Structure 1
Amino acid sequence: MKSFKKTLATLAAALTVASGSVLAAYPEKPINVIVPWDAGGDSDLTTRIWADAMEKELGVPFVVINKTGGNGIIGTMFVAKAKSDGYTLINAGLSNMFVTPNFSKTPYNLESFTPVLKITSAPLGIVVAKDSPYKTFDEFVAGAQSKTLTMGSWGASSSGTVLGNIIATQAGYAPKYVHGQSTAESMVSVVGGHIDSAIAFPPAFSPHVKADRARVLVMNQKMDTFPGVPTFADYGIKGNFEAWSAIFAPKGVPDEVVEKLVEASAKVMQDPKVLEAFNNMGTVVDFRHGPDWIADMKGTYSLMKDEADKARK
């Protein structure tokens, strides 16, 4: 019996050492990073900048995969059910991680994932075409009060529509939403003259504004990239209207994997070329990780849940 117990103890020790060696070697193969939205949108562009930099830092391919459908549910659910080994990650954000699970029935929620790190945040804005008759937000509101104006968003229960409704209610108008698959798609419709406006984030509208094809009427916060653009607060609209991009792993991923990803990200997020790439997109680098960030997220998630509960009454 003693010999049997000794054998088990030896085997357990060997497995522990082997497991530690595997984790120490992470990553040993390509890492798939799922984007649950179309290529060219905010999340996609943010993910590719981060993934390219991480690939150089860690020496393994970071493969960005656009797994779209169901207002972000398809790709998010795929990662929630993936193996918790650190080789399948997702760039999640306000919409698929906070809004959809609370306003719709989904097979996942925030507790289905292990938060790894936050990459960026992006202030929400209302955008029109360059030749739009609405030169200011005041003019836009007046126009929307006199007739129904169309506004591009990316799903009936998306963060764009939820936040857009909060803004519209406070400003006193009710837009008719035209839902696409991404903010990039909405911007194409705006500059093409197919819709009156879009609610979007800088990664999607910045190229069109810089090319003088679109105009930002109002944003969540002032940015040097868009001088002179007023904020929602300037018009007395209360609330924080921003999107964010963060990396999540399936629930149960080893702490060592999270630490390795955070450590590498901390280095690449200080690279001037990476910072410049994010700045050119119009996003704000907002690198966070750890207990304080996770606690803040859970607090916001609870607030969103409360809003969803009110909407159902």
Structure 2
Amino acid sequence: MKTLVIHAAIIGLLAPSAALAAYPERPIEMIVPAPAGGGTDTAARKLATILEDRLGTSIAILNVAGGGGSVGATQFMRAKSDGYTLFSTWNSPLTTVPQVQKVAYDINSFTPIASTSETAYTLCVKADFPAATGQAFLDELKANPDKYTYGNDGIGGTMQLAAERIFQAKGVKAVAIPFGGAGETLQNFLGGHIDIYGGSISPVIPYVQSGEAKCLIVTSAAPVAALPDAAGLAELGLGSEETLLWRAILGPKDMDPAQVETLTTAIRAAVNTPEYVEFLATRGETPNVITGDALARRLAEEYDGLARAAKALGLGN
């Protein structure tokens, strides 16, 4: 009888560990702070389908758009720290939006799990623009302060701050014209309403291939294969001013480390599957898994860099 009691006690002690080891035991909800059908949403949904097989559970996508991603981030921040609500986002709601509007969270309000992919922004001009290299482009702008207009993703948006980090470092002044996103910026660029396209790479590639546009700078330190004529920032002596569009999956604050480890392993494997790598390539993105403390450092460093650019522009919440 005493032996049975001891066995029962041991089983009781082991039960929580066994339950934890079984994570996830039920479906996961993934909040995406963007409308359905956009770049962030499609990237999240594609990755979720691969993760479902690896985690052995379904993943439901919940789109919570608004406020440049801040509405979804705020809703997610209130989620239980039980590992069954995740946040699939791009970096802007975390590092850019808080520079220009008051939000109910900061970069320490979440548990960094893993980044998934990244891509540069780019600055492009029409074929007849009087510059053919990144350095010549900056020289032309510097020689003609405020002559040229560049489209971007909104006042204080990531593209504007990315461009201004470059311009401020080189003493360049250009007129920022805000639009609702890369698609709207591209339309106005092609229509001749602005001189410079500032936005993500994938929408402008067809026009580079047709010869209608030429992209002269990317906002990554290294060059981008899809835009062979565009200078990377390191080539221009501006490697420290790199700004990327990157995506990540985060957990609620104080999430169980064992659950984080399970998700990290699954995400790393999913991102590097040929299926997802090929999917990213069609969008001009590359896989890049950064986890844990390294991801937290990336968030902090980018936040600080964009804060300096916002302050120089007189922006702030």
Asked if Structure 1 and Structure 2 have the same fold, meaning a TM-score greater than 0.5 normalized by the shorter chain, the answer is: yes
User: Aligned AA for 2:115?
Assistant: K
Q: Aligned-pair distance for 1:148?
A: 4.4
1:101 maps onto 2:102 in alignment: no
Corresponding residue for residue 3 of structure 1: none
CA distance in 2, matches of 1:48, 1:135: 40
Change (3 A) 1:274 1:305: same
User: Aligned AA for 2:199?
Assistant: A
Does the residue aligned with 2:97 lie in a helix, a strand or coil? helix
Does the residue aligned with 1:97 lie in a helix, a strand or coil? helix
Q: Aligned-pair distance for 1:141?
A: 6.4
Corresponding residue for residue 160 of structure 2: 161
CA distance in 1, matches of 2:261, 2:206: 35
Change (3 A) 1:40 1:231: farther
Unmatched segments (≥5 aa) in structure 1: 1-5
CA distance in 2, matches of 1:204, 1:96: 21
CA distance in 1, matches of 2:153, 2:63: 16
User: Aligned AA for 1:151?
Assistant: Y
User: Aligned AA for 1:176?
Assistant: A
Where do residues 191-270 of structure 1 align in structure 2 (5 Å cutoff)?
A: 191-206=190-205, 209=208, 214-219=213-218, 220=220, 221-237=222-238, 239-270=241-272
1:178 maps onto 2:178 in alignment: yes
Q: Aligned-pair distance for 1:279?
A: 1.9
The superposition leaves residues 216-239 of structure 1 with CA deviations (integer Å, 9 ceiling, x where unpaired) of: 221133122222322234444452
The superposition leaves residues 146-204 of structure 1 with CA deviations (integer Å, 9 ceiling, x where unpaired) of: 66444332232222221222223325122232231x33443344345554433223344
Q: Aligned-pair distance for 1:22?
A: 4.0
Where do residues 34-183 of structure 1 align in structure 2 (5 Å cutoff)?
A: 34-39=31-36, 41-128=38-125, 133=129, 136=132, 137=134, 138=136, 142=140, 145=144, 148-169=147-168, 170=170, 172-180=172-180, 182-183=181-182
CA distance in 2, matches of 1:178, 1:298: 26
Task: Please give the TM-score of this superposition, normalised by the length of structure 2.
Answer: 0.79
Identify which range, 64-73 or 245-254, moves more after superposition: 64-73
Task: Please give the TM-score of this superposition, normalised by the length of structure 1.
Answer: 0.80
CA distance in 1, matches of 2:258, 2:118: 26
Q: Aligned-pair distance for 1:108?
A: 0.2
Change (3 A) 1:308 1:39: same
Does the residue aligned with 1:84 lie in a helix, a strand or coil? coil
Does the residue aligned with 2:177 lie in a helix, a strand or coil? strand
Residues 36 and 75, structure 1, Cα contact 8 Å, conserved in 2:
yes
Change (3 A) 1:275 1:187: same
Aligned partner (choices 7, 11, 31) of residue 28 of structure 2:
31
User: Aligned AA for 1:36?
Assistant: P
Q: Aligned-pair distance for 1:49?
A: 3.1
Change (3 A) 1:235 1:304: closer
| Higher-helix-fraction structure | 1
Count of residue correspondences:
302
Residues 41 and 204, structure 1, Cα contact 8 Å, conserved in 2:
no
The superposition leaves residues 91-150 of structure 1 with CA deviations (integer Å, 9 ceiling, x where unpaired) of: 23432112222443211001110001011221221134x666466353586369366444
CA distance in 1, matches of 2:255, 2:159: 30
CA distance in 2, matches of 1:23, 1:190: 53
Does the residue aligned with 1:151 lie in a helix, a strand or coil? strand
Change (3 A) 1:65 1:297: same
Identify which range, 105-114 or 209-218, moves more after superposition: 209-218
Percentage of identical aligned residues: 26
Residues 81 and 252, structure 2, Cα contact 8 Å, conserved in 1:
yes
CA distance in 1, matches of 2:49, 2:195: 36
Change (3 A) 1:303 1:167: closer
Unmatched segments (≥5 aa) in structure 2: none
CA distance in 2, matches of 1:217, 1:283: 18
Change (3 A) 1:312 1:157: closer
Residues 126 and 218, structure 1, Cα contact 8 Å, conserved in 2:
yes
Q: CA RMSD in A?
A: 3.4
User: Aligned AA for 2:110?
Assistant: F
Residues 54 and 266, structure 2, Cα contact 8 Å, conserved in 1:
yes
